[in-house]
């Protein structure tokens, strides 16, 4: 009979020598069991470590409302129209992160200027800006924060030198957030 058909002992030879000689393996009894954290993150709470509060104006905080709106209008030569209106809710602030423009005929963007308004008032820094700063797909980075309870609008003006009425499209991306003290 060959040796490979005999009954096999599954333990390692060194472990077998310890167990067969009557040896005892000591288990430490004064060390508490290790707390195993779940593999998936849980809800925000003290069990997840320190709460880190980043400024909501720079980063969308937990509970922020994402805003990504597209609006359009047919604007005649020399006329002004509102492309987008975003009502900012009570108790929230609106952070605009990006804006882009498009048209059925992309050469028409050379005739377009735009401005930001809050409750009809033009905002400093964003008045009569050329529409060539961003596209619908590739938004231009901008920084604007609106307070609560205002109507945020993007108004566009077609130059008087435009030949025909053009359809202009605008896209605004950002988030609404509540300021919380930590």
- Parse the chain into domains and list their residue ranges: 65-177
145-160: per-residue pLDDT in tens?
998 899 999 999 999 9
pTM confidence score: 0.69
CB 180 within 8 A of CB 94: no
pLDDT at 116: 93
pLDDT at 141: 93
83-107: per-residue pLDDT in tens?
999 999 888 999 999 999 999 888 8
The two three-digit tokens of residue 62, written as one number = 């937990």
Under-50 pLDDT residues of the chain: none
Question: Token pair 């709460």 is at which residue?
Answer: 51
Class of domain 65-177: mainly beta
DSSP 96-108: EEEEEEEESSGGG
């Amino acid at each position: 009979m060959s040796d490979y058909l005999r009954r096999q002992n599954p333990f390692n030879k060194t472990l077998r020598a310890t167990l067969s000689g009557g040896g005892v393996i000591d288990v430490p009894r004064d060390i508490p069991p290790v707390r195993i954290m779940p593999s998936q993150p849980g809800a925000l709470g003290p069990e997840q470590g320190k709460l880190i509060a980043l400024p909501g104006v720079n980063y969308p905080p937990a509970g922020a409302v994402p805003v990504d709106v597209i609006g359009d209008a047919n604007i005649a030569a020399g006329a002004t129209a509102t492309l987008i209106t975003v009502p900012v809710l009570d108790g929230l602030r609106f952070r605009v992160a990006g804006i882009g423009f498009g048209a059925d005929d992309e050469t028409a963007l050379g005739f377009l200027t735009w401005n930001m308004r809050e409750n009809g008032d033009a905002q400093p820094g964003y008045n009569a800006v050329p529409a060539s700063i961003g596209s619908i797909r590739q938004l231009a980075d901008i920084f604007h924060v609106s307070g609560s309870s205002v109507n945020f609008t993007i108004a566009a003006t077609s130059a008087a030198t435009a030949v025909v009425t053009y359809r202009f499209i605008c896209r605004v991306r950002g988030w609404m957030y509540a300021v919380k003290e930590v």
